[in-house]
Amino acid sequence: MAGLFISFEGIDGVGKSTQADRLGEWLTSKGKEVLRTLEPGGTDLGQEIRNILLHRKGDVAPRAEALLYAADRAHHVATKIRPALNAGKTVITDRYLDSSVAYQGAGRALDANLVRDLSLFAVENLLPNLTVLLDLDAAAALERRSKTGTEPDRLEREKLEFFEAVRDQYLKLAAAEPNRWLVVDARLDVDEIAQIIRDRVSTLLV
């Protein structure tokens, strides 16, 4: 695989999309071709799935939820991410399979290994070269979200304990695979965070 694959992870409200954008702009200024994308909803089909996942009224059973995220991911990888990597592009995605392991695995209390295996099946084992975790405690993240004034979606309406479990799972995943993960304190200044991420990405550039 020719291109570099980078994912951003963290609980809702930690500033992932801002940092994904910043990194994308920096890499573009270095002459890299960048695909900046997201999950759920990185494709047309994915947008439809995203709509169900985030805005459906009423229950979605935990396993159905896990399968819908995996379906979104399978289509995203097959039609956008893998072709871009094969063409030598740098792919930056706001969320990827670790979101499922953390949210469906820990948040919904499904078996984290099963959720991971489901996603690995979906993506034919494609893992990022680097995963950036923007780490913040659940209460601080909730406070940030409340300041945006936007209506919380289906997942964001979960309780504090849900996000605490998700955060703990992320930290465990990062500790288990330190070569793939970079953990950054999301309380730092936006520019400082961007710089820490660039420093790590620089080590991966050829």
Nearer residue to ligand TYD within complex by CB, 32 or 45? 45
Q: How far is the CB of 182 from ligand TYD (least distance, A)?
A: 18
User: Would you give the DSSP letter of residue 91?
Assistant: E
The one among 155, 171, 188, 196 contacting ligand TYD by CB under 6 A? 155
Stretch binding ligand TYD (CB under 6 A), from 33-41, 174-182, 184-192, 196-204: 33-41
Q: How far is the CB of 78 from ligand TYD (least distance, A)?
A: 16
Q: How far is the CB of 97 from ligand TYD (least distance, A)?
A: 7
Give the rounded distance of the alpha carbon of 51 from its chain centre.
Answer: 17
Contact flag: residue 156 with ligand TYD (CB under 6 A): yes
Query: 105: which 2 tokens?
Result: 């695995």
Q: Residue 147: how many CB atoms within 10 A of its CB?
A: 9
Nearer residue to ligand TYD within complex by CB, 33 or 111? 111
Strand 181-185, strand 130-135: pairing? parallel
Peptide bond into 152 cis (omega under 30): no
C-alpha span between 35 and 91 (Å, rounded): 5
CB 88 within 8 A of CB 35: no
Query: 157: which 2 tokens?
Result: 């309406």
The one among 103, 162, 163, 170 contacting ligand TYD by CB under 6 A? 103
Nearer residue to ligand TYD within complex by CB, 71 or 188? 71
Which residue's CB comes closest to ligand TYD? 103
Query: 160: which 2 tokens?
Result: 């504090």
Cβ neighbours for 18, distance < 8 A, ≥ 6 positions apart:
190
**In the range 111-140, which residues lie near ligand TYD by CB under 6 A?**
none
Nearer residue to ligand TYD within complex by CB, 68 or 84? 68
**In the range 36-95, which residues lie near ligand TYD by CB under 6 A?**
38-40, 54, 69, 95
Work out the burial of residue 98: count CB atoms within 10 Å of its CB; fewer than 13 is exposed, 13-18 middle, 19 or more buried.
buried
Nearer residue to ligand TYD within complex by CB, 32 or 172? 172
User: Given the rule CB under 6 A, which residues bind ligand TYD?
Assistant: 12, 38-40, 54, 69, 95, 99-100, 103-104, 153, 155-156
